[in-house]
Every structure is written in structure tokens, then in C-alpha cells.
Amino acid sequence: MSDRHARNPESLMMSLGHDPSAHGDAVKMPLFASSTYVFPDARTGAERFAAVRGEEGAKGGPIYARLGHPNLVLAEERLRVWEDADAALLFHSGMSAIATTFLAHLRPGDVLLFTGPVYGGTDHLIRETLPGFGVEVFEFDPSESDATLLRRVREAGFDQRVAMVYAETPANPTNHLVDLARCRRLADRFSKPDRKTLLAVDNTFLGPIWQRPLDLGADLVLYSATKYLAGHSDVIAGAVLGNEEAMVPIRSMRVYLGTAAGPWTAWLLTRSLETLRLRMERQEQSARTLAGWLRREAQKPDSPLADINFLGFLEADGEAAATTEIDTNQARIYRNQCLGAGAMIAFAVGEDREDAFDFLDGLKLVRLAVSLGGTESLAEHPASMTHGGVDPEIRTQEGIHENLVRLSIGVEHPEDLIADLQRALAHLAECRAERLVGVAG
Ligand SMILES: Cc1ncc(COP(=O)(O)O)c(C=O)c1O
């Protein structure tokens, strides 16, 4: 599909792939609430099936909504252009996108190399589910050298069987960055002449506006489209984008697992992609304001706030340059692979879970809810919520401490958000004072 009038994704989102004259002159593609499609004649029906099977020269068309439908085709084409990928596939959830990708590319005996933390659901899928299908999983520490990692992989007897390197960057919930150039090098190191080791990257936190893993050598980019892509906390969706070769098995597996997004999900996503840049840029701006405020608060004597992790602090010319806390390795990765800081902030509140809970309970405008990337700001407690199912020892190793709070900044006015954070700090102070009285009494 092409559009003669525009080249930039934000312009193409208004028209690409939709011809109003074919749909009652509607400016927007209508919702196709239909599970099956009528063939004009039997030969055309047979040819559409042949196209699904990948037969050369066969012309595709709608058959049955699990295999595809007009809303899906449109949403996928529009999503594809944001990353200039060969193809995009939409799913009913981020988890179904990840699970379908694993089932399409991993076989018993294969090894998945990954580095944490990753989203709690992905962590479960990798550590608990994949081994049950005979896939070995091997975690590496981003700080270990290539030599140490290669030796460990060899000693485990895995070096001939690494089929995929999986990274989530920035990682949920800590905002920790994984070096994608290094992951590509590792994947190439394990590739064999007859089988390329794939690099798959969960780009939910920054993409596609601020991180383009395909440009950095990834084969596949995965999304919880529930988050920024859909952006209004009113739909669950997932996506995979990538080069054609890596996408073919996923497209086929999706048909048989039945994990394609339905018409309503695809329609909502098409709507959301029109405002993707607007939303994400505004959210990032507000997050900068809030993160700066949080850090100034954290520097006050006796502040319960600490370790404010916002990617914008890694920018050399940013406010953080003047501080000593900058992690030079993270700053190097940020410079090499990120185009912006996003709108996620992770930070420590007080000493423990109780302090974090009291802070969270004091928020009024910021909603206490999991998920992220929506128009409304959300806050959660990863150790007991999104990552509550992760082994406590692993949680601690990965920096998901009991006093960690994760904030997703929406499009509200930043002044109101700051007032809300102030309210939460005041609530925490009151609760702490009451606890002291309780202990004394
Ligand atoms: C980074 C990341 N990947 C994947 C998922 C799973 O996506 P979904 O909830 O849309 O299935 C999430 C959900 O929070 C996530 O944060």
C-alpha cells in the first residue's frame, strides 16, 4: 500500500490503506464485525486459502477473522510504517505476541538466552513455561564480560543450541537498559550457517518513537500494544514487527494458536496510532518535569525518596550531568540506542513495603493500577503486583526491592501531578508518625 501525499508516519496514520470511496465515503475505516467472509466464487475462495498457505502467485483476501480481517490488515500496515519493518502482526495481548513468537521459533533442545528483569508475565513464560516444552533458558548478567558469558554458556553445553537472545529494554519495572549492539554480537556468535540465532526485543517502554531495535540489528520487536501504542488503557493488545524471514513462522503459528487481534482491538489501535507521537512526546515532557521534581525532593534532608531512575538523567547535557550518580555504562547504552527518555519513572520510597504502600495510598490523581503508557498516570508496587510472582531472590538481584514504586506518566498537567506526589508524601509522613505513636504506645 502506498500513499502519494505523505511520507512521515504521523501523516500516513490519517490515510494509509483506507480508501473512503470503498467504504461509503467514511473518513475512518468502519469496524468489520464479521467472523467470516463470503467468497465471490469457489475458485477465489480456494485461491485465498492457497495464499494463506504461502503458495506462490496466489492472491489473498478475507476468509475467516482468525486468519485476518480488514481492520487487522489496516492496523498492521500502519503499525509497520512506524518502524519501517518488513511486516507487523497484531495480537490479542502482549503475552500472546510473546508466546506465539516463542512457539514459532523455539523447539525442544533449543536454548533461549535472556537477561532480566523482564515483565513478570514474561518472566513466568520464560522460567516456568518454556522448560516444560523442553526449551532450556539461560540468564545472563548484563555486567558480565562476553568472555565470562561465553565460557558459562559453553560449560552448560549450550553453545551450539542458542536459538534466540531475548531482551527487554528498558526493563520493566526498573528502567534498566540492555545493550542491544552487544546482544546482536552475541546472537551472531551463536548463529550457525543453517540457522541464524534471532535477537528479539521487547520495546514496550520506548518504541517506536524513542527506540528502533530493528535499526540496531534486532530480528523481531515485540510490544504490549496495551501500553503506549494503544495508549488509552481501554484495550489489551500485542504486536510483533520484524524482517520477513523471521515473521513468516510467527504469522503461520498465529493462525493455529488463534492469537490474532479481533476487529475491535485492531480498530482501536488504528485510532490510537494517529496520536502516538503527540501522546508520547507530551508524556515524556511531563515525565522530565516530574522526575526533576522527585530528584530535588530526594536531595532534601530526611526525604523518604531515593534512587530516582528516569532515563533522561542519563543524557550528558541534562540536569543529571552535574550529579555524581550517573551510571556511565547505562549512559553509554542510552546514547547509542535511545532517541528519548520515555515517561516511566522508578524510585524508592522509604525503607520497606509499608512505606511504599502508604505513599501509594496517598495518591489521588495518579491512579493506583498496574499497566502503563496510557493517557492517565498510574502508579504500582512491582514487588507485590506486576512482579509478585518472580522468585524473591531473583527480584532482589534484579533491583525490584520492597520499597520500589513505578510511575507511568500520562497527559495530565504536570503541576497537578506534582501536587499529587506532594499529597502522597504528606500521607506517608502522617502514616509514619502514626506508626511511631503506635510503637511508643
Ligand atoms: C514490557 C511488557 N511486555 C509485555 C507485557 C505483556 O503485555 P499484555 O499485558 O498486553 O499481555 C507487559 C505488560 O505489562 C509489559 O509491561
Q: Is the pLDDT of residue 364 over 70?
A: yes
| Domain-terminating residue out of 274, 298, 321 | 274
pLDDT for the residue numbered 1: 46
Q: Are residues 270 and 325 in the same domain?
A: no
Q: pLDDT tens across 284-308, in order?
A: 999 999 999 999 999 999 999 999 9
Average pLDDT, the chain: 95
Q: pLDDT tens across 31-41, in order?
A: 999 999 999 99
Q: Do the domain assignments include residue 53? A: no
Q: Are residues 260 and 332 in the same domain?
A: no
| Domain-terminating residue out of 237, 253, 274 | 274
Distance 274 CA to ligand 1 centre (A): 22
Q: pLDDT tens across 390-428, in order?
A: 999 999 999 999 999 999 999 999 999 999 999 999 999
CB 411 within 8 A of CB 286: yes
Q: Are residues 265 and 118 in the same domain?
A: yes
Q: pLDDT tens across 175-194, in order?
A: 999 999 999 999 999 999 99
Which residue's CA lies nearest to atom 2 of ligand 1?
Answer: 119
> Mutation test of ligand 1: which of 100, 102, 114, 224 has the most ligand atoms closer than 8 Å to its C-beta?
224
Name the pLDDT band for 327 (thresholds 50, 70, 90).
confident
Which residue's CA lies nearest to atom 14 of ligand 1?
Answer: 371
What's this model's pTM, rounded to 2 decimal places? 0.96
pLDDT for the residue numbered 350: 98
> Mutation test of ligand 1: which of 95, 123, 240, 380 has the most ligand atoms closer than 8 Å to its C-beta?
95
Q: Do the domain assignments include residue 228? A: yes
Q: Is the pLDDT of residue 387 over 80?
A: yes
Q: Is the pLDDT of residue 279 over 90?
A: yes
Q: Do the domain assignments include residue 403? A: yes
Q: Are residues 203 and 284 in the same domain?
A: no
Q: Is the pLDDT of residue 3 over 90?
A: no
Q: Are residues 361 and 285 in the same domain?
A: yes
Which residue's CA lies nearest to atom 8 of ligand 1?
Answer: 94
Q: Mean of the pLDDT values across residues 53-75?
A: 96
Q: Are residues 258 and 362 in the same domain?
A: no
User: Strand 378-380 to strand 404-408: parallel, antiparallel, or no bridges (unpaired)?
Assistant: antiparallel
